[in-house]
């Protein structure tokens, strides 16, 4: 059983495995076009292209567009400002597309909303990796409120009719009050939020609750990119991802040009049975065009109870639209895929880890023994595109290959977050190892790749990883069915090197051309994959100096399969 009072996750961004496994916005591909007018200043062209996406309310694509640009032009303050504002819009749109959030919003009284804010503030005070700056939290809450006041969904749900000048006056007065107050603790912050809620509600003609909730969400989002408030449905999605199963259609989606691109179809899932394939696009859900609603709203319409059905209009490449009825069922999501001996002559085994979920280490064990029986003499593990997952599973998988020493160290503000995860010699596989990485390998996959590289246990091939070196805990709330994701610690490779902003550097650099926006997952094919080709070459070279591949003894392997006790604050 999972201890759901706190789970340690190391995911990239806000990745959720919802009932249709909607991919995080980092998966959207938005190209940077050029023109003669802006060729001398590429940042200006990025801004022009981004504003087109914003004007179409394609917030997820716009956010990804700006984030990718910031990685290319990290000194641009204009781009960083667009990232901040677009993220607020994206989060706001997601919340008001989420019926679990809207229901809570409409049910909470003023006092219940205050109590909810208080509980969230206590979580921040107790668990966040740094001491909170309470003034900064409320300033960000004010920014969130200002954006919300111009949002049509906020106005409709909360029946707001205040004119623009009155909205602007309310926001300015709140800013003036905050500028003159120095908040030193959680209790002062709570009283300030109560005053802001009541004042703003009077000025705007709305209830106090939506004002307080905007400040709560803004406070969470102000902490860092990865900390956030989780609605009830989002919390369920996180648990589904951890468990590796969910109720849905069995497809992975990403937003693309006003439609839902099917990036992958889970084997033996309902969508596969209905004839839906990777590369198809959903252009309507139950008769509602995806052009007319936000990506999250369209994705939300695909959700439903087990056994219920949904009608989707699907377009395949070079075919006319067709109507498909799909029944929602429970789907198991594999995290270890494409297990095979990829070079039979040399005995090179291969598998791909798509994420680190509850079953990953067990699935890796099964894959290793299958490949061993099939004649594996060396192994390529592919964590390209792996956004992360459970910290403890990344440690367990690394422990299958590292004999002793530190796998990863975590350090936080609280002493209970400081922990060195050690390898155990029992059950360690001695097979020559190659790990494939790319710029989308993040968090837990960086823990795994960093440990292999620092211990010189294998060769790391590809390009530098994402550089997301922090641990998030999932904290359910007592007052309502919801939760928060909080950064509780930063992690460091066995050599003591920080992963944040730096990533893991490969031993062998292989540059590749970016995949097109509509590229779907395909099985490993070295003919069309230079990184895989280089990895196999390295694996062949390692065989010459390799000992036997299997663990030291069956008895030791069985012992290693028993769960070792890890700190309770870090999951199970």
CA distance 109 to 121: 18
126 included as an active-site residue: no
**552 token code pair:** 């030291």
Active site residue 454: yes
Is 256 tagged catalytic?
A: no
232-261: burial string, b at 16+ Cβ within 10 Å, e else:
bbbbbbbbbbbebbbbbbbbbbbbbebbbb
Q: Report the C-alpha gap between 185 and 458 in whole angstroms.
A: 49
Q: Please report the domains of the chain, with CATH numbers, ordered by start residue.
A: 7-227 (no CATH), 235-332 (2.30.42.10), 336-570 (3.90.226.10)
Among 100-114, 450-464, 518-532, 534-548, name the one with the lowest average pLDDT.
Answer: 518-532
Interatomic CA distance for residues 522 and 139, integer angstroms: 46
pLDDT the model gives residue 512? 76
Between CA 223 and CA 227 the distance in angstroms is 6
Catalytic residue among 237, 296, 454, 529: 454
Element (H, E) at 145: helix 134-149
Q: What is the pTM of this model?
A: 0.84
Dihedral sign (CA 356, 360, 361, 365): negative
The per-residue pLDDT for range 303-328, each reduced to its tens digit, is: 888 999 999 999 998 889 999 999 99
Q: Which tens digits make up the pLDDT trace of 6-33?
A: 455 665 543 333 333 333 333 333 344 4
Written as six digits, the tokens of 122 are 């206590």
Beta bridge mates, 443: none
Q: How far apart are CA 471 and CA 167, in angstroms?
A: 38
- For residue 546, the model assigns a pLDDT of 67
Candidates 443, 470, 493, 560; catalytic one:
443
The stretch 269-275 carries a mean pLDDT of 93
Q: What is the mean pLDDT of the chain?
A: 87
Give tens-digit pLDDT for 344-361. Answer: 999 999 999 999 999 999
Report whether 223 contacts 128 (CB < 8 A): yes
Options 123, 358, 468, 490, the catalytic residue = 468
Any residues with CB less than 8 A from the CB of 78 and at least 6 apart, and which?
43, 47
Residues 88 and 143 sit within 8 Å (Cβ to Cβ): yes
What pLDDT shows up at residue 57?
A: 86
| Helix or strand (DSSP H, E) at 434 | strand 433-437
Q: What does the pLDDT read at residue 361?
A: 97
């Amino acid at each position: 059983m999972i201890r759901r009072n706190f789970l340690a996750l190391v995911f990239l961004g806000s990745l959720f495995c919802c009932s249709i496994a909607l991919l995080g916005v980092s998966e959207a591909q938005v190209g940077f076009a050029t023109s003669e007018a802006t060729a001398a200043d590429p940042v200006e062209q990025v801004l022009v292209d981004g504003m087109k996406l914003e004007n179409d309310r394609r917030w997820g694509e716009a956010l990804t567009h700006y984030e990718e640009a910031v990685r290319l032009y990290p000194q641009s303050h204009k781009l960083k400002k667009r990232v901040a504002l677009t993220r607020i819009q994206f989060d706001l749109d997601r919340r008001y597309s989420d019926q679990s959030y809207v229901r809570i919003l409409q049910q909470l009284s003023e006092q219940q909303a205050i109590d909810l804010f208080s509980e969230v503030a206590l979580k921040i005070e107790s668990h966040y990796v740094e001491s909170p700056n309470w003034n900064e939290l409320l300033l960000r809450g004010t920014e969130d409120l200002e954006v919300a006041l111009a949002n049509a969904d906020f106005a409709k749900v909360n029946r707001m009719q205040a004119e623009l000048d009155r909205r602007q006056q309310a926001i300015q007065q709140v800013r003036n009050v905050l500028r003159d107050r120095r908040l030193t603790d959680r209790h002062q912050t709570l009283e300030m939020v109560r005053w802001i809620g009541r004042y703003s509600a009077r000025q705007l003609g709305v209830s106090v609750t939506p004002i307080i909730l905007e400040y709560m969400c803004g406070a969470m989002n102000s902490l860092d990119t990865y900390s956030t408030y989780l609605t009830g449905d989002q919390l369920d999605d996180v648990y589904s991802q951890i468990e590796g199963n969910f109720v849905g259609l069995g497809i992975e989606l990403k937003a693309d040009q006003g439609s839902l691109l099917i990036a992958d179809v889970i084997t033996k899932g309902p969508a596969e049975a209905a004839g839906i394939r990777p590369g198809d696009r959903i252009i309507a859900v139950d008769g509602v065009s995806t052009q007319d609603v936000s990506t999250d709203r369209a994705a939300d319409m695909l959700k439903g109870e087990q056994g219920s059905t949904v009608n989707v209009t699907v377009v395949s490449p070079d075919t006319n639209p067709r109507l498909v009825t799909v029944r929602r069922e429970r789907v198991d999501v594999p995290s270890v895929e494409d297990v095979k001996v990829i070079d039979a002559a040399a005995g090179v085994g291969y598998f791909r880890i798509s994420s680190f979920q509850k079953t990953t280490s067990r699935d890796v064990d099964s894959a290793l023994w299958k490949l061993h029986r099939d004649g594996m003499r060396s192994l390529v593990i592919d964590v390209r595109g792996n956004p992360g997952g459970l910290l403890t599973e990344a440690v367990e998988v690394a422990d299958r290959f590292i004999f002793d020493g530190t796998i990863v160290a975590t350090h936080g503000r609280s002493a209970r977050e400081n922990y060195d995860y050690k390898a155990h010699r029992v059950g360690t596989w001695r097979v020559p190892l190659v790990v494939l990485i790319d710029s989308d390998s993040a968090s837990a996959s960086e823990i795994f790749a960093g440990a292999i590289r620092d211990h010189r246990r294998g060769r790391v091939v590809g390009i530098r990883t994402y550089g997301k070196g922090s641990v998030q805990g999932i904290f359910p709330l007592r007052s309502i069915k919801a939760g928060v994701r909080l950064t509780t610690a930063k992690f460091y490779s066995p050599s003591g090197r920080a992963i944040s902003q730096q990533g893991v550097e490969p031993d062998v650099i292989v540059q590749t051309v970016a995949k097109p926006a509509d590229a779907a997952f395909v099985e490993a094919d070295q003919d069309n994959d230079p990184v895989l080709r280089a990895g196999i070459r390295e694996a062949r070279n390692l065989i010459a100096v390799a000992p036997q591949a299997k663990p030291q003894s069956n008895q030791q392997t069985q012992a290693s399969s028993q769960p070792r006790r890890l700190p309770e604050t870090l999951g199970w």
